[in-house]
Every structure is written in structure tokens, then in C-alpha cells.
A and B are shown apart, each in its own frame.
Chain A
Amino acid sequence: MKARTIWRHIKESFKSIKRNGWMSLAAVSAVAVTLLLVGSFIAILLNVNKLASDVEEDVSVRVYIDLAAEEEDQEALQENLEEIEDVELVVYSSRDEELSQVIGSYGDEFGLFDGDDNPLHDVFILNTSAPEATAEVADQAEDLNYVADVNYGGATADRLFEVMETVRNVGAVIIVALIFTAVFLIANTIRITIFSRKTEIEIMKLVGATNWFIRWPFLIEGALIGFIGALIPVSIISYIYLSGFDTMMSYLSGTYFALLPPNPFLIQIVALLLAIGIGIGGFGSALSIRKFLKV
């Protein structure tokens, strides 16, 4: 295609959007509303997902060391623990540290147990590489020497993992369904816009325009409408997420929870929305005019 013709098609599509005034506005709004819904839901769902994972990651296996263990026994135990598959990190916490945590959480009254009265054990805290491995790791740790007890929340933690799995699956299904809905709605809007121009397309054909000569401006016009329509939700979502992110993060500071950071998460959502808008807009209109071209 000649550069002149490409330029002509681009100019033509801008002109057409302007002259179709209300119709273009209606299409842009429909795209904007749809993508705003999709974008917000995806942002919320993925963050819920992230929080769910944070909860799971927070589950660690506590290995209580037998009171009879000497220092070298403890070291040997630590090595053994580190060798278990799926163990990512082994942190030692002495009984004194444990007690001061209890005091910190439950009050100074527990200071009574300070020193030799401390009933607590020294502890190894294990972090697993995957939440699902927790139970298996706990089982293996229990068999080692000088292990008094192993605790990871047991049935409660297992239940939590199950719930989280469901949350994740449901979220994925909803996201896919939402994207399908968006694609369908946008394609349909574009189709209605073009339907009103059926005679126009037929006339173009009768004047001797080739199919692609007619198709290009419509394709560009559809992509432009999709693009403009996507810009609105993109800016709304970006604004809300960026300002909401800092507020939420200050609430969550000191916990294991964190929202997905805007970079790259927000950028990915923006890219997704723009891609849906432009892609479906352009393709949708190119496909919609197909049946009118048979003149």
C-alpha cells in the first residue's frame, strides 16, 4: 500500500469519528464502561489472590527443640532441617526470645516466667518454598532427633490452604468470564455502529472501492474508538490504585500482607485494557463490515 493511501485512511477514520458524533460517543462510552468494570474486578481479584498467598506464606512450621539437646545437637538438627526438601529458610529462636514475644503479645504478667522459670523451648522456625509442602515438611521434621514437637497449625492450616485454593480458582474463572464479556460487548457495540452505515459501505463498493480500501478506515476507526474508550478506565483505575496503594500499605505495614506493587501490576492491567480496547475495536469493525462488502 502506498504511504499516501495509508495517510488517507488515517485521516478518513478521524474524520468519520468526528462526523458520526453521537454514534462514536456512544461506542466510546460503552467500551469505557465495560473496560472499567473488567479492569476494577481484575485489580481487586488479583489483590485478593495476593493477600491469600500472603496468608499461606505466613504459615511456618515451628520445630520445638528437646530440652536435653546440647549445642552441637542443635547444630546437627539445624543441618538436618535444612536438608529437608522444600525447606527454604531455618531461623533459630531461643526460649528467651520466645518468651519476650509472648510478653510482647500477651502482657507483662508473663514476665514472671523470666529466667529459669521459662517453660518454653528453643525453636527452629521453618519457611517452606510452597504452602502445600508445609504438612510434608512437618512430618519429616517430627522424625528427627531432639525434636520435642512440631506445630504448623495442622488441620486449621490445611483448611486455610483449601479455602485459598478455591478463592484462587473462582477468581480465575471470574476474570476469564469478565474478559469474554468485555470482548463480546465491545464487538457488539462496534457492530451496531457499523450496521447504521450499511448503505455507505454498499455505495463505496459501487463506486469501485476494493474491500481493503473500505476496510482500513473502518478498522482504524474501530481501533481508535477502542483506544479512546480504554483511556478513560485506564486513567480512573491508575489514579485510584496509585492513591489507594499508599493508604492501604500504611495500614498493612508491620504485617505479612502487601498489595501488588503498581510496577509491574498496574502497568500490566493498563496494557491488558488497552489491548482489549484496540484489538477488539479494530478486529470487531473489520469483521462486522464483511457481510456488507458483498455487493
Chain B
Amino acid sequence: MIEMTNVYKKYPNGITAINGLDVRIDQGDFVYVVGPSGAGKSTFIKMIYREEVPTKGTVKVGDFDLVNLKAKKVPYLRRFVGVVYQDFKLLPRLTVFENVAYAMQVVGKKPKQIQKRVLEVLELVGLKHKVRMFPNELSGGEQQRVAIARAIANMPRVLIADEPTGNLDPETAWGIMDVLEEINNQGTTIIMATHNSDIVNRVRHRVLAVENGRIARDQEEGLYEYEG
């Protein structure tokens, strides 16, 4: 499903973020990516949806070979992989409904289908009553949920969430986790970078610990094992 082999990533400023990383993630997995700040977590995640390209090694996601992927094909990868960003990245001038709908228009879905599916995913994240609001009228947790709704609208095979609970209060964070669990139960692979030990320890899944640019620990139903 997702396969990284002997991956290196060196930034132009000389920092080596990923240093010989190997990992394999199967379809339907739920994976936590943990590790101290600056250990390469973000770079690792960004290489899955090709915001970053490795300097060396291979990255395969589904049928996409990310190292040799042509710029023209990148949009199609981004439809296969849904991403929830830490800073939400909602379109500020579109309403909640339109934000989610945008991802489906991109794929060329029919307006009727879009209407139905958008309301469906917004209901799943519990925001059906706020469809006409603009992002700046929502709280952080609500914006995060809109971002999740948008990421799953096209039923991607992989959902990547970069610190989805990072800026949220514990109660909202658990709400988000429920949504992610639900999506995972429908067969979507979930890769979630997090610092939230509470969640990792209580909702047990495979844990990938990234340290010094490589996988330091890969454990089924693992624990968080970092301080604070």
C-alpha cells in the first residue's frame, strides 16, 4: 500500500530530515506517527502526499511512484490520499459546504452527488447545522472537522492527519478521534502524526516512532513513551 525504501531527504539548507527510512503500511491500517519535534515526522508525512520529494530512495503509494511522478499527475495522487492539515487549510472565501464540495468538484462529480455526499460527511463530523458559515466564523475544532470532512469526501484510500488534535481541547480531540475511528472502520488507511500521549495510549494502534530521520520503533498497539 504505502512503501518507503531506503529514503533520504536532505533540505537545501543542509539539514538531513530523513536518514535511511524503511517502512511499509498496509491497506486499512491505523498508524500513529510519534516522535520528538524536529525528528523528521512532518517530512515523513509530507513525502506521502508529495509535498516533499525524497533526495534518495523510493516512495510508493498505491500505484503511484512518488519519486518519478510527473507534476501533471500530482493532483490525482492528492485525490487518492486525503490530507488533514494542522492549520486546516480551508478556503477562506468559501462556506463550510463549498469547502467540502470543492474537493468533489475537482474530481468532476455531479452536483446532485456532491450535495448528498457533502451533507453526509458533514453529518459524520457533526457540523451539518453550520453548512452556510465561513471558516472564520467557526472554532478551531470545528474548522478541523470541516478539514476532515473535506479530506474524506472523495472516499480516499488513505487519510493523513498531521496533528489533527494539536490545537484542540481534550473533549473536541476525542470527538475527532471518534470520527477517525469511524472512517478507519470503513476501510480507509489512517496515518496520524500526533503528540497526544493520552490518545495514543488509550486508543491502541500501530505506533511508528520517528527519531533522527528513521523509524526507531514500530510496534502494534504500542504506547506513546515520550514525556509530555
Contacts and interface: CB of A to CB of B under 8 A. Distances in A.
Nearest to B71: A294
B174 interface: no
B105 A8 contact: yes
Contacts of A19: 93
Interface stretch (B5-13, B22-30, B72-80, B218-226): B72-80
Overall SS of chain A's interface:
helix
Given A16-B93, A200-B91, A200-B92, A207 B110 contact: no
A290 to B, nearest CB: 13
A177 interface: no
Given A16-B93, A19-B93, A207-B150, A213 B78 contact: no
A208 B75 contact: yes
Nearest to B88: A203
Interface residues of A, number: 20
A166 interface: no
Given A2-B108, A5-B108, A207 B103 contact: yes
A16 B94 CA distance: 9
A16 B92 CA distance: 11
Given A2-B108, A208-B106, A20 B93 contact: yes
B90 A203 contact: yes
A6 to B, nearest CB: 12
B144 to A, nearest CB: 15
A207 B108 contact: no
23 contacts: A4-B111, A5-B105, A16-B93, A19-B93, A200-B91, A200-B92, A200-B93, A204-B106, A205-B78, A206-B78, A206-B85, A207-B102, A207-B103, A207-B150, A208-B75, A208-B76, A208-B77, A208-B78, A208-B103, A209-B75, A211-B75, A213-B106, A295-B51
Given A2-B108, A8-B105, A200-B92, 16 more contacts: A16-B93, A20-B93, A200-B91, A200-B93, A204-B106, A206-B49, A206-B78, A206-B83, A207-B103, A207-B150, A208-B79, A208-B106, A209-B102, A210-B75, A213-B75, A213-B105
